Structures are given as C-alpha cells and as structure tokens.
C-alpha cells in the first residue's frame, strides 16, 4: 500500500457491530454499500465494495470464531478525494502468519470446501488492503477503494 495515497480527511463515518452469524453477511454488505453510495459511485464500484466486504465478513464468521459466538466490528469512512476506507475486525482466534494466509489457495481448513481465496478476492476488488492480526486477540482488515469521477466511467 502506498503511504499517503489514502490519507485524506474523513468527511463521513459509520460504525456497525453485528453478531458473527452467516445471516448477517448480507446485512453488512448492504449497509456498507448504502453508506458508500453517497459518493455516487458507479454500479461496478458498489459491486466491488460488496464483494470485498462479503469476503472479509465471511472470514470473521468462518475462521475467527470457529462456530462460537462473537462480534464483527465494521467501520466505513469516506475520505476526501472520493475514497472509501472500510475496516472489518473481530476479536477471534487471530492469524498465526498473515503473510502466509494472504497467499492464494492457503486455507487452515483443508477438510472444508473453502478455496483459500478470501484475501485474494478482497485485494482484487479494492485498491489497497492492510491486514493485522494477533493470535488469540483477533484480526483487523482495512480496505481502501478509490472511486472514479463520474465522468471518467
């Protein structure tokens, strides 16, 4: 991630706390997309946000809490320059090796039908992503999406 590219002043912000239930993945996706809509992005840009948020939230539900109760904390900020900053964090089991976890096809659950492409998908639908994690304390994913000018699309 290029330092400073996504450092504009916050012009609006929302926070959401949801139980880590698969039923809430759609709610999280829709809420963040609706919030970002105030920048009047193109439909494809909103679709990108929805996909990235879905992957991050699904990671919390499936991996962070591993079938136990927990919370997903979502903060979306709109920054100067038509940039969305989306932070999704949990207080779950954390990730031992973030660099390894970000490799395509890596999974901690080989017995499942999971593809190990969550972080790769998030990266492909955003302009920058930062992942920090502490084993036993949780994971924090921050994604940035720069929206084009409406006349540029």
Q: Report the catalytic residues.
A: 55, 59, 114
Q: What angle do CA 88, 80, 131 make, to 5 degrees?
A: 25
Helix (H) or strand (E) holding 12: strand 10-19
Give dist(CA 45, CA 33) in Å, integer.
9
Give dist(CA 112, CA 60) in Å, integer.
16
> What residues form DSSP beta bridges with 146?
83
Among 114, 146, 119, residue whose Cα is nearest residue 133: 119
Pairing label, strands 138-146, 83-90:
antiparallel
């Amino acid at each position: 991630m290029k330092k400073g590219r996504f450092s504009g002043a916050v012009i609006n912000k929302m926070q959401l706390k949801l139980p880590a239930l698969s039923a809430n993945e759609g709610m999280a996706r829709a809420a963040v997309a609706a919030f970002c809509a105030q920048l009047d992005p193109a439909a494809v840009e909103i679709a990108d946000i929805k996909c990235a948020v879905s992957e991050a939230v699904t990671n919390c539900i499936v991996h962070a809490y591993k079938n136990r109760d927990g919370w997903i904390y979502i903060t979306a900020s709109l920054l100067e320059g038509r940039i969305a900053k989306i932070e999704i964090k949990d207080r779950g089991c954390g990730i031992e090796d973030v660099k390894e976890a970000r490799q395509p096809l890596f999974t901690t659950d080989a017995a499942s039908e999971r593809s190990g492409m969550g972080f790769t998908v998030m990266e492909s639908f955003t302009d920058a992503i930062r992942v920090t994690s502490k084993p036993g304390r949780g994971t924090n994913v921050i994604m940035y999406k720069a929206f084009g000018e409406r006349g540029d699309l």
